[in-house]
Amino acid sequence: MNVLGSYFEYIVEMLSDPLLLFNMAWATLLGILIGVLPGLTATLGVAILTTLTFGFPAKTAIAMLIGVYIGAIYGGSRTAIVLNIPGTPANAATTVDGFPLARSGYAGFALNVATIMSGIGSIIGALFIVTLAPLLGKLALQFGSWEFAVLAIFGTIIAGSLTAPKDPLKGWIAGFLGLMISQIGMDEITSYPRYTFGNIQLYGGIALLPVLVGVYGIPEILMSLKRTTKAEVALDFSKKKSDLSYGGTILKNWLNIIRSGIVGVFIGVIPGVGEDVASWVSYDLAKRSSKEPEKFGNGSIEGLSSAETANNACVAGAIIPVLTLAVPGSAPAAVLLAALWIHGVRAGPLLPIEHPEMIGNVAAMFTIATILMVIFGLVITRLFLKILLVPTEILMPIIFVLCVVGTYVLNGRMFDVWIMLLFGLLGYFMRLNDFPAAPFVLGFILGPMADTNLRRALMLAKGSLLPFVTRPVSLVLLIAIVLVIASKYIPKRRGAKNENE
Amino acid sequence: MKDKITAVIFISLALFFLINAMLMPFTTEYGKYGAPGIVPIVLSVIVILLNLIMMLRKKQEKAPVQITNGDRKKLFSFENKRLLISVIFCLTYVLLLGHLNFIALTSVFVSVLSLIFYRKKPILVILTSVLVTYGIYYIFQKLFLLPLP
């Protein structure tokens, strides 16, 4: 069955299954709510729903998780526009133009433009799942242990560079710390228990979900409870944008929208680099190519459109390597990968062989979730904003309880809750010292892949490292690693020299 | 200075991983390249090297913020106080989980922590805490049949 065939077939199947549609609808709605609440990120939302959908059929659970993921990335735009605080990190670029628009009385227009652009971004993303994922899948089939080992290192390094552009060294340290800590537990080749110190609970390694909830959830809770300043809410719907219709906005921005969608997808494909980077990069590109760059930062519709199109397109981009390489493109996609494992779907190069319909089905889930998101966004979006009137001091303890409960129910043991807290404190410490969380989490996920494949590669080549440079894909990835490091370091050193002169 | 302290902490952690990896067996049934310590050794050495670079680099440190304003100093200690209270309450809650009734413990935790920082409408806060806790209990335990601590 080809991908397009399975895509359309599953759309029809979903539309004729009211229970599945109902489950997707409430998951998408929950996602929007999670996105609206500052402090609750898409990662946390997908993680909590993973535990809730534990007993659901695999496809229903995956569809719901995609719904909550898309919903959360979109929902964050609501808060970004009316509160000037991104609901999720993905909406940071949205605040730049969304909030000035809202403050000048165009809150309704800005919210609806963001909804439409998020919808278009998601549809562009779904198109890329159908077209790009099978191609990447075919390429992944050529991968051997050498390529997977280098890919793990490449992913960690590039995630480190892009998520810590001001100080990539900190990004790399975070990434390699993640890789190192992931070595805890029984090793996959010899079953030797590493760093377990006789503790049976550590034999299976540290579960991904407690780490993700800890690193992303706890620092946010602590930061919010610690903060004493209150944000300004711009819920002013008094003016309508009479000089521009929604159709006119799309027509005027068509090139910007397509470019932002493509940029979003491709940044999503890069391991560990998520929606936040995608929206900033496309915002920057939109500003550079705009005829009215002076409007950026003062309520530019172009800027708002590019940020919102890119972050939702990036969701699809982040899912593509999950399906084809078992490498997550972003943090929420990492949870999605864990959820696929939990439901017995082995993502990676063999997915198109073991589950040939899966790529088309995921694209179909994506499309339906997008339609639901747009409907909810246009119809009941203002209702969600009421939640912003609930004080953070009440919300955060509730979110903490959800983090604890969500982690506990995964395996029904308090050990995971303690692990979550431990990684939460580590995450808080890292955030205080400007270490990005994304490369740490990506390193943690890719650690076992790096470990088994590096040793397998060494065993196959009897200790020779030569195949790493004689195999084309491995060589390309190695060159890319060198270029990424060089691009971050050399200009700085030159710059420093010039400054000294 | 902050980076140097962080580097020392991470280097200590990596040294712990490195020493333990050295103690792992180097001969296995898969030959010496299947040894479980190889990758942890490589990774911990990289972590140590990267942190050494961070520790030794000459980075233009931001000029230390001159706290001349008494209010700012007060705010800083006030924020840390809030942080400390939050951490203590969260840890106590997790410690008591499983030993006390979930609904009672969670309701008390949410309402007390909320009321410490938000000293308005206490009855509404308590009522919200109890209702939300019951909601969580109902969704996880009754609706999705997932056991709670």
- Per-residue pLDDT, averaged over A169-179, amounts to 95
As a whole number of angstroms, the distance between CA A334 and CA A441 comes to: 8
Residue A52 lies in a domain: yes
Return the percentage of chain A with pLDDT > 90, whole number: 43
- How many domains in chain A? 1
Query: Who's near A172: CB < 8 A, 6+ residues apart?
Result: A156, A157, A160, A161, A439, B50
Selected residue of B11, B43, B102, B109 to mutate for chain A interface (largest A Cβ count, 10 A): B43
Q: What is the pLDDT of residue A501?
A: 37
Selected residue of A182, A183, A485 to mutate for chain B interface (largest B Cβ count, 10 A): A183
DSSP letters of A24-91? Answer: HHHHHHHHHHHHHSTT--HHHHHHHHHHHTTTS-HHHHHHHHHHHHHHHHHHHHHHHHHHSS-SSGGG
Q: What is the pLDDT of residue A475?
A: 94
Confidence of residue A344 (pLDDT cuts 50, 70, 90): confident
Return the percentage of chain A with pLDDT > 70, whole number: 93
A-chain CB neighbours of B100 within 8 Å are none
Decide if A192 touches B, using CB distance below 8 A. yes
Q: What is the pLDDT of residue A499?
A: 42
pLDDT of residue A383 exceeding 80, the answer is no
As a whole number of angstroms, the distance between CA A155 and CA A271 comes to: 5
ipTM of the complex: 0.90
Q: What is the pLDDT of residue A182?
A: 95
Distances (CA, A) of A481 to A160, A214, A476: 11, 29, 9
A-chain CB neighbours of B24 within 8 Å are 192, 194
User: H/E element holding B67?
Assistant: none
Residue A499 lies in a domain: no
A-chain CB neighbours of B40 within 8 Å are 180, 183, 194-195
A-chain CB neighbours of B43 within 8 Å are 176, 179-180, 183, 447
Averaged pLDDT of chain A: 87
Say whether A349 sits in a helix, a strand or coil. coil
- Cβ pair B40, A194 in contact under 8 A: yes
- Cβ pair A293, A244 in contact under 8 A: no
Confidence of residue A443 (pLDDT cuts 50, 70, 90): very high
Residue A497 lies in a domain: no
- Per-residue pLDDT, averaged over A211-236, amounts to 77
Q: What is the pLDDT of residue A241?
A: 53
pLDDT of residue A166 exceeding 90, the answer is no
User: H/E element holding A294?
Assistant: none
Decide if B50 touches A, using CB distance below 8 A. yes
As a whole number of angstroms, the distance between CA B106 and CA B99 comes to: 12
pLDDT in tens, A271-281: 877 888 888 88
Diameter of chain B measured on Cα atoms: 69
A414 vs B98, B106, B140: nearest CB: B98
Q: What is the pLDDT of residue B59?
A: 63
Phi-psi region of A348 (alpha: psi -120 to 50; beta: other; left: phi over 0): left
- Per-residue pLDDT, averaged over A79-91, amounts to 81
- Is A380 exposed, middle or buried, given 0-12, 13-18 or 19+ CB atoms closer than 10 A? exposed
Query: Who's near B17: CB < 8 A, 6+ residues apart?
Result: A180, A183, A195, B40, B43, B44, B47
User: H/E element holding A186?
Assistant: strand A185-186
Confidence of residue A231 (pLDDT cuts 50, 70, 90): low
- Cβ pair A268, A309 in contact under 8 A: no
- Is B129 exposed, middle or buried, given 0-12, 13-18 or 19+ CB atoms closer than 10 A? buried
Q: What is the pLDDT of residue A362?
A: 93
A-chain CB neighbours of B14 within 8 Å are 180
Residue A54 lies in a domain: yes
Interface of A with B in 380-439 (CB under 8 A): 391, 393-394, 396-398, 400-402, 404-405, 408-409, 412, 414, 417-418, 421, 429, 433, 435
Decide if B38 touches A, using CB distance below 8 A. yes
Decide if A9 touches B, using CB distance below 8 A. no
Distances (CA, A) of A371 to A115, A121, A251, A365: 11, 12, 20, 10
Q: What is the pLDDT of residue A238?
A: 59
pLDDT of residue A498 exceeding 50, the answer is no
Tally C-beta pairs within 8 A across A and B: 163
> What chain B residue is nearest to A189 in terms of C-alpha separation?
B34
B-chain CB neighbours of A179 within 8 Å are 43
User: H/E element holding A193?
Assistant: strand A193-194
**What angle (nearest 5°) sits at the alpha carbon of residue A234, between those of residues A232 and A240?**
165
Query: How does pLDDT run along chain B (149 residues), one tens digit per residue?
Result: 788 999 999 999 999 999 999 999 988 888 888 899 999 999 999 999 999 999 988 765 555 555 556 666 666 677 888 899 999 999 999 999 989 999 999 999 999 999 988 888 889 999 999 999 999 999 888 887 788 88
A-chain CB neighbours of B35 within 8 Å are 190, 455
Domain that holds residue A83: 3-492
The nearest CA of chain B is from the CA of A406 a distance in Å of 9
User: H/E element holding B25?
Assistant: none
Decide if B71 touches A, using CB distance below 8 A. no
Say whether A185 sits in a helix, a strand or coil. strand
Residue A453 lies in a domain: yes
As a whole number of angstroms, the distance between CA A307 and CA A82 comes to: 16
- Cβ pair A91, A304 in contact under 8 A: no
Residue A498 lies in a domain: no
- Cβ pair A316, A122 in contact under 8 A: yes
Q: What is the pLDDT of residue A86?
A: 78
Q: What is the pLDDT of residue A252?
A: 84
- Per-residue pLDDT, averaged over A383-397, amounts to 79
Residue A225 lies in a domain: yes
pLDDT in tens, A104-123: 888 888 889 999 999 999 99
Decide if B145 touches A, using CB distance below 8 A. yes
pLDDT of residue A261 exceeding 90, the answer is yes
pLDDT in tens, A34-57: 888 776 788 888 988 988 888 889
Confidence of residue A195 (pLDDT cuts 50, 70, 90): very high
> What chain A residue is nearest to B75 in terms of C-alpha separation?
A228
A455 vs B34, B44, B145: nearest CB: B34
pLDDT of residue A412 exceeding 60, the answer is yes
- Per-residue pLDDT, averaged over A128-154, amounts to 89
Confidence of residue A423 (pLDDT cuts 50, 70, 90): very high
